[in-house]
Structure 1
Amino acid sequence: MRISTLQAFSNGVTGLQRNYANAARTQEQISTGNRILTPADDPVASVRLLQLEQQQNVLTQYSDNLTAAKNSLTQEEISLSSANTILQRVRELTVQAGNGALSSKDRASIAAELQEREDELLGLMNTRNARGEYLFAGFQGKTQPFVRQADGSYAYQGDEGQRKIQIASSLDIPISDNGKKTFVNITDAGRLQLAPPGAPGLPGLRVSTPLVQDEVAFSSTPAFPANGIEIRFDTVDPRSYEVHAIPSTGPLATGTVEEDPVKANKLVFRGVVVNFDGTPAGGETVQVVARQVGGVDVQKQGVLDTIAQLRQVLLQAPDSPEGNLQVRDAVALGLTNLDHAMVTLDGVRGEIGARLNIVETTQTDNEDVTLVNKGIQAQLRELDYAEALSRLSFETIILEAAQQSYVKIAGLSLFNKL
């Protein structure tokens, strides 16, 4: 086969370029530390690396979401802990207000601190997060959730939404609790009333507002009658009474009003307590039914309304036996409702604690998956330096040999033989 001078020169240059390119590529791999410089180096590994990078980006977003969830839940837990501390102090003041030896001025001083605690609690319930959104407003983050109205009661202006955030591929976790669930939907121990209200027609006997003191007994079988009860005092023995369901199917219980006024005269029936003060004349009938507003049964009451109503009674009750009875009833109702409020807060705090545990566990899993992901990426992408250095040394020898051979071949010519 004949080889022209041009062909010899061209083959030599091509070989030099190829050997130089191999050595340069190996040198670039060593300088970058990456085995794959272009997808053509390893198509299968390149696709796998792209998938792993996408997964890593998702894991990074989940990590950011976990941090945000932890911060939000921690802030909510701190706010609820502070609210619980306030309620404990309010309960102490309520117990103190139940002292029958206090004067109206003493009760007014207690009411003054209750006002301060009420305002403090209102501020906590309107807490904002780092983004300036109200923590307990549900989805209405820009709307102040709790507002004091002209009559001293409180209105909730948020909604019942619960914000969630995705912290894993198939796991969303709530990062907030709406104020209605936390502070408003609290079982009201005063959800029963006398019918007719105030029990008129009982000049010698005062019947207190019914109090649901034991929720378990109230709802357990046999439960408190759905339509209420009727208390009937005997005409022959005025101090004796019978308790009938409405409508009556016969007496469910009986009792007697003690002659000694110092003794506690009260009816305790299936979790409901009714106090009797005075002397019945005989033949009185009192009904205990569900309290209604606008034709709807009242079952819940907000904690702020509980404090406000107690405070108003302490301020308005006169220095008289009747005033002392009003305070007694208000204190009993307030203590029970405060206990319900603290139980509700403890329940929400328990849910927050469970979510924080999930966040911590998911963070650990996320970090473990991230380490595995980076390890696989390293195996696919990173260079084996020992192999690369050996290869670079070999390619350098080849390049030098090619250069020397090219010089010798380029020097060959038939004219040198003439």
Structure 2
Amino acid sequence: MRISTLQAFNNGVAGLQRNYANATRTQEQISTGNRILTPADDPVASVRLLQLDQQQNVLSQYNSNLTAAKNSLTQEEVTLNSVNTVLQRVRELAVQAGNGGLSAEDRKSIAAELTEREDELLSLMNTRNARGEYLFSGFQGKTQPFVRSGDGSYSYQGDEGQRKLQIASSLSIPISDSGKSIFEAVTNAARLGEPSSSLAPPGPGSNLKFSQAQVTDEVVFADRSPLTITFNASGPGFVVTDSNNVEVGKGVLNDDPDIETKVVAGGVTLFISGTPTAGEAVTIPESGNAKQGILETIAGLRKALNSSTSTGSDIRDAVAVSLTNLDHGMISVDAARGNIGARLNVIETTQTDNEDVALVNKSVQAELRELDYAEALSRLSFQTIILEATQQSYVKISGLNLFNAMR
């Protein structure tokens, strides 16, 4: 076989380039610390690394969502804690207002502080987050949830939705709560209607008077409405029955018709005065609003204390209803805080899970991508020897010439 001079030179140059490229590639691996410089180095590992990088990016987005969710829920929890503090103070004022020894000026002083607390509570219910969105307006983040009209009543302008963030591949968590569910959907103790007599018009000698009936025990009252008070045919005694005609209480009216008699039966409390007709039956229907907002409860108490026409019985009834409704409101706020705490626990565990997954990802990526320095240094040393030998052999072969033998 004949080998031309050009072919010999080309083969030598190709060998030099190939060996130099191998040594250079190994040197690049050592300098970068990566085993895979291009997908051609290890196609299977390159695909796996791409998948792991994508998963790592998704985890980073989830971590950002977790941080945003935690910040939003923490702010909501702080706001609800402030609301609970205000409600505690309002309840103290309501108890103080129930003191029968207070003068009209004293009650107006209490009403003045109630006005300030009412404004403070309205401001808290309209709290915004760091993005300028209202915390308690549902999906309507740019709409002010609670608005006070000219007559002093309140209306809710948001909706009942809950904004959510995805914090895992198949898990989304609410980061807000509807103000309607927390502050408006509060059980109203004064939802019972005006008692109605079975006598129309009342019989001879009947001049019964009733205070505002209120539900003081929701568990006992459940499924018993309406209640009926039937007075004995002889004597001042009476029996209270529920909607199933089951006796739930009984008692005797005070001998003095001007002195009220407290009736507690079937989860309902009211006061009765006057003289009934023998056999008269009085029905207490449930015809009022079953729910009442916290702000409306405070406003109702404030108006009763400020009114110059309010009697001692009116003040007593207003205070009793307000105390019960405030208790219901604080239960609602505490329930919302409990839900927030549960979500924060989920966020904490999810963050831990994401960190564990990210750690495993980095470990796998390191195994696939990082270089074995001992092996690479040994390989570089071997490739350097080969390159030097190739260079020396090329010099000798390139110096061969038939004309040298003829000298």
* Short-chain TM bin: over 0.9
Q: Give the 3-state SS of the residue equivalent to 2:143 in structure 1.
A: coil
The 3-state SS of whatever aligns with 1:282 is coil
CA drift of 1:160 comes to 0.4
1:340 shift after superposition: 0.3
SS in 2 for 1:241: strand
1:268-303 Cα deviation digits (max 9, x unpaired): 111011112x332534543210124xxxxx210000
Distance in structure 1 (CA, Å) of the matches to 2:248 and 2:93: 38
Match of 2:212 in 1: 209
Structure-to-structure mapping, 1:318-337, within 5 angstroms: 318=309, 323-337=311-325
Within 5 Å, which residues of 2 pair with 1:159-198? 159-196=159-196
Per-residue deviation, residues 294-329 of structure 1 (Å, max 9, x unmatched) = xxxx210000000000110011154xxx71111111
Contact map agreement 1:236 1:282 (CA 8 A) in 2: no
Separation in structure 2 between the aligned mates of residue 23 and residue 179 of structure 1, nearest angstrom:
69
Letter in 1 for 2:287: R
**2:362 matches 1:374:** yes
Identity %: 65
* 1:110 is aligned to 2:124: no
Instruction: Indicate if the aligned counterparts of 1:128 and 1:135 stay in contact, CA closer than 8 A.
Output: yes
Question: In the alignment, what sits opposite 1:240?
Answer: 237
- Computed over aligned residues only, the root mean square deviation of the Cα atoms, in angstroms, reads 2.1
Letter aligned with residue 67 of structure 2: T
Aligned equivalents of 1:119 and 1:172: distance in 2? 35
Distance 1:395 1:55 in 2: 37
SS at match of 2:193: strand
Q: What does the per-residue CA deviation read over 1:115-151, in whole Å, with 9 as the maximum and x for residues that have no partner? A: 1000000000000011101100000011100001122
Tell me which of 289, 302, 305 is aligned to 2:293.
Answer: 302
Give, as a single letter, the amino acid of the residue that structure 1 aligns with 2:371.
Answer: L
Letter in 1 for 2:294: V
Partner SS, residue 287 of structure 1: strand
Contact kept? 2:257, 2:274, Cα under 8 Å: no
Relative to 1, partners in 2 of residues 1:263 and 1:361: Cα closer, same or farther, differing over 3 Å? farther
Give the letter for the 2:237 counterpart.
Answer: S
Q: Describe the superposition over 1:160-190 as per-residue Cα deviations: whole angstroms up to 9, x where unpaired.
A: 0011111001111111100000100011111
Distance 1:179 1:264 in 2: 40
Q: Which amino acid aligns with 1:154?
A: Y
**1:417 counterpart residue number:** 405
Could you tell me how far 1:386 is from its partner in structure 2?
1.2
SS state at 1:230 partner: strand
Maintained 8 Å contact 1:194/1:286: no
- Note if contact 1:306-1:338 (Cα within 8 Å) is conserved in structure 2: yes
Deviations 1:84-121 (A, max 9, x none): 00000000000000000001110000000001000000
Q: Give the 3-state SS of the residue equivalent to 1:94 in structure 2.
A: helix
What count of residue pairs does the alignment treat as equivalent? 401
Measure the CA separation in 1 of the matches of 2:303 and 2:27: 86
Match of 1:282 in 2: 277
Give the direction of change, closer, same or farther, for the CA distance of 1:263–1:360 in structure 2 (3 Å limit).
farther
SS across alignment from 1:176: coil
Relative distance call for 1:2 and 1:249 in structure 2 (3 A) is closer
Distance change >3 Å, CA 250–CA 70, structure 1 → 2:
closer
1: CA distance, partners of 2:134 / 2:377: 61
> What TM-score do the two structures reach when normalised by structure 1?
0.91
Q: Work out whether residues 231 and 286 of structure 1, in 8 Å CA contact, stay in contact via their aligned partners in 2.
A: yes
- How do residues 332-411 of structure 1 correspond to structure 2 at under 5 angstroms? 332-411=320-399
Q: Give the structure 2 partner of residue 20 of structure 1.
A: 20
Letter in structure 1 aligned against 2:377 = L
Amino acid at match of 1:377: Q
The SS at the match of 2:311 is helix
Distance 2:206 2:124 in 1: 46
Q: TM-score w.r.t. structure 2 length? A: 0.94
8 Å CA contact retained: 1:317, 1:326:
no
**1:267 partner amino acid:** V
Unpaired runs of 5+ residues, structure 1, are: 293-297
